[in-house]
Every structure is written in structure tokens, then in C-alpha cells.
Amino acid sequence: MRRRPVELSISHERWLVSYADFITLLFAFFVVMYSVSQVNEAKYRVLSDTLMDAFNNEPPQSLKPIQVGQPTLALEPSVVELGEGKKTGEFRGDGAFEKTADLPQLSGQFAERFAEMIDDQLLRVNSNELWLQLELNSNILFPSGSAEPGLQALGIFAEVAAMLKDFDNPVQVEGFTDNVPIANRRYASNWELSAARATAVVKLLARGGVAPQRLSAVGYGEFQPLADNATEAGRAQNRRVVLMIAREKQKRPAISDPALGGPGREASRPYPQPGLAPPPVGGDGAQQSIEPVPLEGGGLLFSSDPDLPRNN
């Protein structure tokens, strides 16, 4: 019996298989190349530092240098870089170390942190070499006619306190109102309301870690407006709280200050007040006493003139 020959069918489209494999490999190649081109700089630096530490046999250097001898304090204030937002530091007379903020740099940090509120014209930041002014609209801080801070005020001043607590710059909080009269059982006038709002902000800053001795509260009431109180927009602009951050603390004059005639001054004379003439001084430089002189028609004349008769 004769076998039938087997017919072999030849496929003329086998090249498509090879072509598909080639395209797949080419696609994978480009994916790998793209992933390699996207380098994470932070991870690359960590990997580089790890490899350097692994292949470096030198012992790590100590971060705590050994103090040789006794440290001495310079008489002049020392300037030290203290990192972001910190510029200078100096030793006070009691040996404590003061840290002073770089106000323009701190202003940039406030502007960056509260950029959204600045865009909405709810907060304004201005600064120079002496002062940094942070002005906030009272409408976002307190309810109308109240000095109880709202939830938004608590969050805002918690962040402000976190940015200020590491510095020793004095902070004065100023409260302002519009000219709408207020008379209730708690606040008799806008004076009390503005002072109470400034005091509330001071308490929030102190609660956030700002040293209380650096803080002060001032209430101006309605008497320093920024805009016309005749319009609602002007009144809203006048209702505000301002934080004045000073570069240096201004010392208050004391009774013992030689400039006020205290111990240490040569003549120990009273401090002259504006518009008043200084007290008379005798030939030897000492202040003469003021004594009453009886008048003929009755009454007394108070004078330090030594030529006037004295009734002994």
C-alpha cells in the first residue's frame, strides 16, 4: 500500500513573531533608559555617603571637640550664626546668652508661611532693620465685640509663637478697633476692647513658649485708623491686631538711672520735663530750696529767689 505524502504548509507570516519580540525588547530598553535618567538626588546622596563610609577606613571624627584650658568671655558682644532666622547672639551682664532674630529674614519666613492669608489680604508683613510688623485682620481672630480668640486665632498664634520662641526680640502686641461704639457689661468702650484683644494675643504667645518678659500689650481703641470709618470696608480694615517685633530691647528709665538724677549724677537734679524750665541752681551748682513767701494781701508766693524776704 502506497503512503500518501504529507503536505507541509509554510507560513509566510512568521516574521511577525520575531518582529513582535524585537519591539518588546526595544520598549523594555527605553523604559530602563528612562528610569535610569530619573535620578532621585536625595537617595543618590544617601547611597553615595553610604558607599564612601563603607570604603573609607578612617575613624569618624568626633563632633565634640576637647576643650583645652578655661574658656574666657570677651568683653565685646560676640556675633554667632545661629541658623535659619537667627543672626546674632550676645552675652548679657548676668551671663545669659541672648539670641536675636534677623528681622528681614524672619519676615521672609512669615511671608512664606502665611502666603495664602497674605494673598487674601488678611495679613500683612513689613520689616526693616529695626522692626518687623505683623498685621492681622481682627475679623479672623475674634468674634464681633469680643476678645475671646477663635479657633483660627489659636492656630495662627501657635505657629507665630513657634517661630518666635527661640529668639529674645521684644514683641509688642497692639489692638485697634473701628469707631462703632461698644458699651456692655464687660467692655465700657473700645479702649477696653482693644486692650483686651492685645492681652489675649499676649497670653496665646506666652502659652506657645514665648518668654513673658519679652511681651507687652497696648490698646489704641479707635483713635489710630488706617482707613475711613464711614464705609464698612474701612471699618473692617481698622479692626486689626499688630505684632511689633523689635531688633533690640529698649530699657525703661529707672529712678536709679543717672539720666534721671539718680545715684551717680553730679548735681542730682530732677529730670527736666518738656515745657518746664529747670529748677534754679545757686552759684555753687546746688539746687536751691523753694520756700513760701507771705504776701501783704494774704496768700503765699512760692519762690527760690534768695533776695525775697523770708518770714521766719
Residue 266 is predicted with a pLDDT of: 42
Per-residue pLDDT reduced to its tens digit, 278-294 = 444 444 444 455 556 56
pLDDT in tens, 187-219: 999 999 999 999 999 999 999 999 999 999 999
Considering the chain, what percentage of its residues have pLDDT values greater than 70?
59
Residue entry with cell 464681633:
144
> Which pLDDT score, from 0 to 100, does residue 220 have?
95
240-246 sheet: strands from edge to edge? 123-127, 131-137, 240-246, 171-176, 215-221
Mean residue pLDDT across the chain: 75
Task: Reduce the DSSP state of residue 107 to 3 states and report it.
Answer: helix
Range scoring the smallest mean pLDDT among 44-53, 87-96, 148-157, 166-175: 87-96
Please, which residues have CB within 8 angstroms of residue 244's CB and are 6 or more apart in sequence?
Answer: 131, 132, 133, 171, 172, 173, 174
Average pLDDT estimate for 27-53: 73
pLDDT at 82 over 70: no
pLDDT in the model for residue 295: 59
What nine digits make up the cell of 124? Answer: 500683612
- The pLDDT score that the predictor gives to residue 40 is 63
pTM: 0.54
pLDDT at 141 over 50: yes
CATH number of the structural domain 102-246: 3.30.1330.60
| Residue 270 predicted with pLDDT over 50 | no
Stretch 117-146: mean pLDDT, rounded? 92
Residues 160-191 pLDDT 10s: 999 999 999 999 999 999 999 987 888 999 99
What is the mean pLDDT of the segment spanning 43-69?
59
**Residue burial 118-129, b: 16+ Cβ < 10 Å; e: rest:** eeeebbbbebee
- Residue where the block lists cell 486689626: 240
Confidence check: pLDDT of 73 > 70: no
Q: What is the mean pLDDT of residues 294-309?
A: 56
Domain ranges of the chain: 102-246
Whole-number Cα distances in Å, 185 to 139, 176, 193, 219: 22, 20, 12, 19
> What pLDDT is stored for residue 77 in this prediction?
42
Q: Is the pLDDT of residue 262 over 60?
A: no
Q: Are 171 and 103 in contact (CB under 8 A)?
A: no
